[in-house]
Structure 1
Amino acid sequence: MASTTDTKNYKLNHTMIRVKDPQESVKFYNFLGLSLLKKLSFPDAKFDLYFLGYDAPGAVSHGKNLFDREGLIELTHNYGTENDPNYKINNGNVEPYRGFGHTCISVDNIQAACKRIEDAGYKFQKKLTDGKMKHIAFALDPDGYWVEVIGRKPLEETEGVKETDVGSYRMNHTMIRVKDAEKSLKFYEEVMGMSLFRTHEAKEAGFNLYFLGYPGEQGPAVEGANTADREGLLELTWNYGTEKDEAFSYHDGNKGPQGFGHICVSVDNLEKACERLEGLEVNWKKRLTDGRMKNVAFVLDPDGYWVEVVQNERFTGQANF
């Protein structure tokens, strides 16, 4: 194991969302090309975890240990929800519980990819033909979470292409809304060690988007470069003026009604990383020493979103669970 900690070794490992029926959810994400990499069962606590990620031969994280990857989705299933007619997930996009926005996959040929999803009977929040933005779509998973679909090539280059290869897809980013862009950027850059890869200003619409990530296998990105071919990015959405409203806050997904749970960063040396975070005076949700699970910690970002911190298994040579 590394004797110190270096944020260049960190990875945005996964995004956790709660699901009502794991069979339906796994089926959907399998259809999008993700593989079930690991299932962890905790029958005493009455929940299961399903870790899914892109693992085709050409995938960025192909063949790696679970926590040595980027862009995974962790599905959390609490036993019995699938049989409860009153159980409903908060997808993060409905007032007054907005906060988490979506996950996003980048694909080879966006028209063909969207047609394939539609032909399989899955619904869309926004089709390519809806609205002004003709180059992005939002599919809906079985719980109503939004999954953005973007193309890695310009739209005109894929016009009329009928084939799509799910083995080439990437889990590109996770979007969360933030109240104060300055505070959130400071946290994710200075505290969590991410780099700002791209900024998109939509002044007329009154919002900015910030794409952050770690160098990972693909190396550092140049500010302003196309990030569609990467995996494991974090997108912060800032709507102008929210930072001036003292009463304004986003829903973290962990208070009722629940949905999104957390993002997770894997690190080279878990104890040293937590010591570093302690020195930066972070707000803790759970320290390593708290509770039964001594191999995970949770810090809180400026909006109260949970950020899990776990050991990257590549540095220890043994599985975390």
Structure 2
Amino acid sequence: MSDGFKFLHTMIRVKDLDKSIAFYCDHLGMQLIRRKDYPSGKFTLAFVGYGNEEDNTVVELTHNWDREDDYEKGEGFGHLAIGVPDIYQTCEALEKEGLEIPRPPGPMKHGGSVIAFIKDPDGYMIELIEKK
């Protein structure tokens, strides 16, 4: 059944689109792939990622123009995960840039990967996993 299926993107709602694009592109090295306004629906979609949408899974940032309040995160959503070559150096650089790191880099409690968690401008958790 899954023959020909492909994971395309993950969508998150963001309050300040420009701030979110800057976070994902400037701090995490993604590229703005495309951005389109939908005036009749009063929203904008922006897609960011590490390569084109044909070959890579990307993040869709949805900005509803009239939104003033922060979004509720709910208890079902967990986090996005990004592999980095040197987690300690990455976190040190991100901390100098003023990013919040609620879980500093280090080994997982029960063994395995070396991880850290940072927050994006809307409070979404981003897990950094060291991939050497």
Q: State TM-score, norm by structure 2.
A: 0.88
Aligned residue identity for 2:124? Y
Give the length in aligned residue pairs. 129
Q: Which has the higher strand share?
A: 2
Aligned to 1:77: 63
Aligned residue identity for 1:75? L
- Residue by residue over 1:23-59, the C-alpha shift from the partner in whole angstroms, topping out at 9 and shown as x without a partner, is 110000002011000112111100000000103xxxx
Q: 2:30 aligns with which of 34, 46, 53?
A: 34
Aligned to 1:89: 71
| Runs of 5+ consecutive residues of structure 2 not aligned to the other structure | none
Q: 2:44 aligns with which of 42, 48, 55?
A: 48
Instruction: Please say if residues 10 and 59 of structure 2, whose CA atoms lie closer than 8 Å, have aligned partners that are also in contact.
Output: yes
SS of residue in 2 equivalent to 1:12: coil
SS of residue in 2 equivalent to 1:73: strand
Instruction: Please say if residues 34 and 52 of structure 1, whose CA atoms lie closer than 8 Å, have aligned partners that are also in contact.
Output: yes
Q: CA deviation at 1:80?
A: 2.9
Which whole-Å CA distance do the structure 1 matches of 2:29 and 2:37 have between them?
Answer: 23
Aligned residue identity for 1:145? Y
Q: CA deviation at 1:124?
A: 1.5
Aligned residue identity for 2:72? N
Q: State TM-score, norm by structure 1.
A: 0.38
Which whole-Å CA distance do the structure 2 matches of 1:108 and 1:131 have between them?
Answer: 17
- Residue by residue over 1:226-252, the C-alpha shift from the partner in whole angstroms, topping out at 9 and shown as x without a partner, is xxxxxxxxxxxxxxxxxxxxxxxxxxx
Instruction: Please say if residues 23 and 121 of structure 2, whose CA atoms lie closer than 8 Å, have aligned partners that are also in contact.
Output: yes
In the superposition, relative to structure 1, how do residues 28 and 7 fare at CA in structure 2: closer, same or farther (>3 Å)?
same
| Runs of 5+ consecutive residues of structure 1 not aligned to the other structure | 1-5, 56-63, 92-96, 154-321
Q: 2:12 aligns with which of 14, 17, 24?
A: 17
SS of residue in 2 equivalent to 1:9: coil
Verify: 1:147 aligned to 2:126, yes or no.
Answer: yes
Query: What pairs up with 1:84-233 in 2 under 5 angstroms?
Result: 84=68, 87-91=69-73, 97-129=74-106, 132=109, 135-153=114-132
Instruction: Please say if residues 135 and 150 of structure 1, whose CA atoms lie closer than 8 Å, have aligned partners that are also in contact.
Output: yes
SS of residue in 1 equivalent to 2:95: helix
Instruction: Please say if residues 108 and 115 of structure 2, whose CA atoms lie closer than 8 Å, have aligned partners that are also in contact.
Output: no
